[in-house]
Amino acid sequence: MGKTKNDLILRAARGESVERTPVWVMRQAGRVLAPYREVRQKAGSFIQLVKNPELAAEVTIQPVDILGVDAAILFSDILVIPEAMGLPYTMDEGRGPWFEHTIRSANDMNRLTNGSVVEHLQYVTDAVRLIRRELDGRVPLIGFAGAPWTIFCYMVEGRGSKTFSLSRAMLQRDPKLAHALLSRIADATIAYLKAQVEAGAQMLQLFDSWAGILNHDVYQMFIMPYMQKICDAMRDTVPMTVFAKGAFFALQDLGALSCHTIGLDWHTSADWARSQVGPNKTLQGNLDPAVLYGSTDQIKLATRKMLQEFGPQRHIANLGHGVYPDIEADHLKCFIDTVKEYQYQ
């Protein structure tokens, strides 16, 4: 597909020398950009937008054109995996995702399909190919998936939750069933990520959005084996980032994974993260998204402070979570421009 002109993020992930810190933003293709809202309206719904390769490609590339980020990230949704496994979902504008059927018992596991998830997700791989063609080597394309625990939570609860108590209860009451479901999710995720790479994804990110609701022992026992299985399976493909929000307690474990980059939320300092994961991992993050509500002077000050703390190498600048939908696009661009213009002392 040709050489990538701006490969800063790939080199930073691999620990190679970079001229400046690369920057991208989680949820950069989203409501913060007016052109995205226009495409979303044309699609009819979020799910219809996800399933339309041409429109998904269009919104994936928008932040590259508008914001000047150093990578595009595939516009999709982590919940395409449970849907491909046999649990379709709807997206309620006010309440988020909702699953009519859930996995609460061994019998419920029979709802899951034994077919190939990749066949069900051709619209994603079609979008990846189209994006790579349209990007024409300007910046790399990041593919992604939800981590097994986060997907497990939605498949068990059927919706978002503050506590995910049904999911946590299953770990305690029926660990055999929990491991069986986590294993099925991990296998599906590996197949899905490999298909994204085959289609042209040049980097991957594994999102464990609900990692922080578990304690260290439970995360080690139930979740880390499946994170390791996925990272090991993808080891020889493209650089992989693991972002486990709230899992500061597991940084040493995450640092031992065969991935290239550890994503950090805004609660975790650069020094602490480096002391936990060691010198051989790239760190990604971790400006508090709420900083972008401040003035441009405040944004520049906080961004420069973050860059100084992480240093010029083995760092990919990002927010500590996805950009909030009511952030002004100009403030987001101020963050990105500040990173790109920064000169280390």
pLDDT 10s digit of each residue in the chain, 345 long? Answer: 678 999 999 999 999 999 999 999 999 999 999 999 999 999 999 999 999 999 999 999 999 999 999 999 999 999 999 999 999 999 987 778 999 999 999 999 998 998 899 999 999 999 999 999 999 999 999 999 999 999 999 999 999 999 999 999 999 999 999 999 999 999 999 999 999 999 999 999 999 999 999 999 999 999 999 999 999 999 999 999 999 999 999 999 999 999 999 999 999 999 999 999 999 999 999 999 999 999 999 999 999 999 999 999 999 999 999 999 999 999 999 999 999 999 987
Quick check: 41 and 50 in contact, CB under 8 A?
no
Give the pLDDT of residue 95.
79
Beta partners for residue 92, in sequence order? 96
DSSP state of 189: H
Q: Is 40 one of the catalytic residues?
A: yes
Nearest CA-CA partner of 307 in 23, 12, 46, 27:
23
- Confirm if 284 and 262 have CB atoms less than 8 A apart: yes
Angle between helices 224-234 and 148-157 (to 10 degrees): 130
Please classify residue 69 by burial: count the beta carbons closer than 10 Å to its beta carbon, then call 0-12 exposed, 13-18 middle and 19+ buried: buried
Domain ranges of the chain: 8-341
Q: CA 206, 209, 210, 216 torsion: positive or negative?
A: positive
Question: pLDDT at position 1, please?
Answer: 67
- Our CA dihedral for 321, 324, 328, 331, rounded to 10 degrees, sits at -10
Active-site position among 31, 37, 129, 304: 31
Angle, vertex CA 287, rays to CA 192 and CA 197, nearest 5: 15
Our answer to whether residue 37 is catalytic in this structure is no
pLDDT of residue 120: 96
- Strands 72-73, 89-92: pairing kind: unpaired
Say which residues have a Cβ less than 8 Å from residue 119's Cβ, sequence separation at least 6. none
Q: Select which of 11, 20, 37, 40 is catalytic.
A: 40
Judge whether 31 counts as a catalytic residue.
Answer: yes
Residue 77 known to be catalytic: yes
Catalytic entry in 36, 89, 154, 219? 154
Return the CATH fold of 8-341: TIM Barrel (3.20.20)
Looking from the CA of 174 toward its CB, the CA atoms found within 13 Å total: 13
User: Given 77, 208, 253, 265, which residue is catalytic?
Assistant: 77
Active site residue 27: yes
Dihedral over Cα of 4, 132, 262, 322: its sign: positive
Going across the sheet that includes 203-208, the strands are 72-73, 141-146, 203-208, 240-244, 261-263, 282-287, 315-319
Give the pLDDT confidence score for residue 114 in this predicted structure: 84
pLDDT for res 314 = 98
Tell me the angle at which helices 270-277 and 296-310 cross, rounded to the nearest 10 degrees.
Answer: 30
